[in-house]
Amino acid sequence: MVLLAAFGIVPTVYAIYFAFANAGNTFAGLSNFTAAARDFRYLPAVEHVGFYLVIWLASLVILVTGL
């Protein structure tokens, strides 16, 4: 339970807190998410993650089928 709290619950709550806070540690609402979505690097990053996911899934299916 201690490890679950230390390495699972506390970091998750910490990340959620920072997702909704700005640089001054005040509540920013959804402005962080809209700023990230408006960034010119967002769509290419999503495409790269999707491409990696397709490659990973295909190789995993081939590897598991081969085993």
Q: Which domain holds residue 31?
A: 2-66
At 5-35, the pLDDT tens digits run 999 999 999 999 999 999 888 999 999 999 9
Please enumerate in sequence order all residues whose Cβ is within 8 A of that of 22, keeping only pairs 6 or more positions apart, or say none: 28, 31, 32
pTM above 0.75, yes or no: no
- The C-alpha torsion from 53 through 56 and 61 to 63, rounded to 10°, is -170
The proportion of the chain whose per-residue pLDDT surpasses 70, expressed as a percent, equals: 100
Q: What is the mean pLDDT of the chain?
A: 96
CB 36 within 8 A of CB 42: yes
pLDDT of amino acid 48: 98
Count of the separate structural domains present in the chain: 1
Please enumerate in sequence order all residues whose Cβ is within 8 A of that of 20, keeping only pairs 6 or more positions apart, or say none: 27, 28, 29, 30, 32
pLDDT of amino acid 45: 97
